[in-house]
Structure 1
């Protein structure tokens, strides 16, 4: 995982605000399933805390201690009980099963090797109760965008934000794509007028192509039930921005 990118959890939340359609989707999935909920790569709890507020027993597993600290703070601020566990989604054993397991916001793409992806998915399979669902969302790779990752630093439209301590923060990104391993390697630059490049952090994400994903799931003992192309439930097509997958144990 690109640890430095997640070293300032509050900055991360300001960088990626909102996300209400995704939160609503996962809350609806939890309501449909009932019972216990596990999120892998839970970050600062942006999706899990609202699910816990609906009355579901929730567990969040996260590798970054900084993100977990912020998740605990936010849950405590709302007087919500959530079990926060520091752990690696590649290989985990919580000693019990869950009615809904999910991996949101491209978190699965931090696993670059096929062996790590399969180990994660097999661990998910081992934690599914009878009738449980596993849900994940990852971006749908855009070949034109990947081909345009030329290493040139550019300001990323729509990602500038206001920081209460620093003022306006501009975000520049330089990316290259390694087709041999399907990994985009980026360097993110965070700057203000007074503090250029106050944070420079690498971020590397794997691409999982549409024909590849069902095979990975199958090899892990999971079956793809539905794949949507957006949060409204539109059927997945080649030009969809995301792959939103609902799975069950095979």
Structure 2
């Protein structure tokens, strides 16, 4: 995992404030499954805290201590009970099962090796209750966008945000694509007019192509039940920006 990128949890939440559609989707999945919920890569609790507030017994597993601390703070502030655990989604043993396990917001793409992905799916399989489901989303790789990862630093105006202490923060990104590893290796630069590059953080994300995922899931003891191309549950197509999977034990 790109640890430095997640070391400032409040900065992360301002950079990625989230949107209603993914949250509504995962809340609906939790309601549809009923029972207990486990989120892997739970971050600052943006999705799990609302799910817990809906009445689902909820557990969050997160590798970053800083993100986990912020999730605890937000849950306590809102009076929502969530079990927060420090751990690695590749290999964990919580000694119980869950009705829903979900991995949101491309968190799965921090696992770069096929073996790591399979181990994650095997761990999920061991933690699914009878009738349980794994749900996750990852982006659908665009060959055009990957080709544009040419190592040139460029501004990302759509990611600019306001920090209450610093003012307007501009975000630049410099990326290259390692085709052999299927990993985009980037450096993110956060700047204000008064403080250029006050944070410079690496971020590496794997691309998982649509033909790969069913095989990786099968090796992990899971099968695809449904696959969507957006949050409205539209069918997956080649030009969809999103791969959204609902999986069950094989």
Q: TM-score, normalised by structure 1?
A: 0.99
State the partner residue of 1:48.
Answer: 48
**Is 1:137–2:164 an aligned residue pair?**
no
Runs (4 or more) in structure 1 with deviation over 2 Å come to: none
Instruction: Decide which moves more: 14-23 or 146-155.
Output: 14-23
**How far apart in 1 are the matches of 2:74 and 2:199?**
24
State the partner residue of 1:82.
Answer: 82
Q: Secondary structure at the match of 1:158?
A: helix
Q: Is the 8 A contact 2:157 2:170 kept in 1?
A: no
**How far apart in 2 are the matches of 1:90 and 1:98?**
17
Task: Encode CA deviations 1:28-61: one digit per residue, 9 max, x unaligned.
Answer: 0000001000000000000000000100000000
**How far apart in 2 are the matches of 1:19 and 1:229?**
17
**How far apart in 1 are the matches of 2:214 and 2:96?**
26
- Once the two structures are TM-superposed, the CA of residue 157 in structure 1 deviates from its matched residue by 2.9
Q: Secondary structure at the match of 2:115?
A: helix
- Once the two structures are TM-superposed, the CA of residue 20 in structure 1 deviates from its matched residue by 1.1
Q: Which blocks of at least 5 consecutive residues in structure 1 are unaligned?
A: none
**How far apart in 1 are the matches of 2:230 and 2:57?**
27
**How far apart in 2 are the matches of 1:221 and 1:101?**
14
Q: Secondary structure at the match of 2:45?
A: coil
Count of aligned pairs between the two proteins = 250
State the partner residue of 1:29.
Answer: 29
State the partner residue of 1:7.
Answer: 7
**How far apart in 1 are the matches of 2:24 and 2:137?**
14
State the partner residue of 1:156.
Answer: 156
- Once the two structures are TM-superposed, the CA of residue 62 in structure 1 deviates from its matched residue by 0.1
State the partner residue of 2:212.
Answer: 212
State the partner residue of 1:67.
Answer: 67
Q: TM-score, normalised by structure 2?
A: 0.99
Task: Encode CA deviations 1:64-90: one digit per residue, 9 max, x unaligned.
Answer: 000000000000011011000000001
State the superposition RMSD in angstroms.
Answer: 0.5
Q: Which blocks of at least 5 consecutive residues in structure 2 are unaligned?
A: none
Q: Secondary structure at the match of 2:119?
A: helix
**How far apart in 2 are the matches of 1:204 and 1:189?**
14
Task: Encode CA deviations 1:87-136: one digit per residue, 9 max, x unaligned.
Answer: 00010000000000000000000000111111111000000000001000
- Once the two structures are TM-superposed, the CA of residue 24 in structure 1 deviates from its matched residue by 0.4
**How far apart in 1 are the matches of 2:3 and 2:111?**
13
**How far apart in 2 are the matches of 1:146 and 1:20?**
27
Q: Secondary structure at the match of 1:230?
A: coil
State the partner residue of 2:120.
Answer: 120
**How far apart in 2 are the matches of 1:69 and 1:137?**
24
